[in-house]
Amino acid sequence: MDSQGRAFPPPAFNAFCARETRLCSTSGGSKVVTLTAAKMAELKSVNTSVNRRITEKSDDKAAGGGTADEWRLPTSTGDCEDFAILKKHELLKRGWPSAALLLTVARSGGVGHVVLAVRTDKGDLVLDNRTNAVKDWRKAPYRYFARQSQSQHGKWERIGKRSI
């Protein structure tokens, strides 16, 4: 994913960062992970584990949930960004660098969606609550808009068009 300048963060992101500074950070460690077979297995394990233990439930008023959208670390239910946050949390616990774990906003069928993008030497990979497969970002069915900046804490960057 190539970035092309600044973007506005999702509205609930700043409140989340005020509560969960560590999960919001992108300033620790290498910006690109060397993807070994063991690292790929760990990504798949975390993606599948979180997808199985969290039940999808929207908190967005527009989606019929009744409250304003809230980004949080889920315990039993959550929506797409909550899944992505928990995956980032789990990978951080396993020693993955925060600089390579980027919350990323996309659209699918006209609906906003958040995934966790992991920057690797083999390309950016997407961990998604809609599938247990860990996919190259270009093969996931999304139009990407923005992601966390790797160089400026709390900032977001626009994502350029796919190049295959």
Residue 124 · residue 43 · CB < 8 Å: no
Radius of gyration of the chain (CA): 15
User: Please, what is the average pLDDT of the chain?
Assistant: 90
Out of 3.50.4.10, 3.40.50.620, 3.10.620.30, 3.40.50.80, which CATH number does the structure's domain 9-149 have? 3.10.620.30
Q: Give 36-51 pLDDT, tens digit per residue.
A: 999 999 999 999 999 9
In one-letter notation, the amino acid at residue 18 is A
Distance CA 116, CA 94 (A): 16
Q: Please give the pLDDT value at position 77.
A: 94
- Measured at the CA of 136, the angle between CA 82 and CA 93, to 5 degrees, comes to 45
Q: CA nearest 54: which of 69, 73, 29? A: 73
**pTM beyond 0.85:** yes
Report helix angle 80-93 to 37-53, nearest 10.
140
What region does 109 belong to: left with phi over 0, alpha with psi -120 to 50, or beta?
A: left
Q: Give 92-132 pLDDT, tens digit per residue.
A: 999 999 999 999 999 988 888 999 999 999 999 999 999 99
Helices (H), 25-163: 37-53, 80-93
Instruction: Check whether 164 has a pLDDT greater than 50.
Output: no
Q: Give 48-103 pLDDT, tens digit per residue.
A: 999 999 998 887 654 554 556 889 999 999 999 999 999 999 999 999 999 999 99
The structural domains of the chain, with segments of one domain joined by +, span 9-149
Q: CA nearest 146: which of 112, 118, 106? A: 106
Q: Please give the pLDDT value at position 134.
A: 98
Helices (H), 36-144: 37-53, 80-93
Q: Please give the pLDDT value at position 70.
A: 87
Helices (H), the chain: 13-19, 21-24, 37-53, 80-93
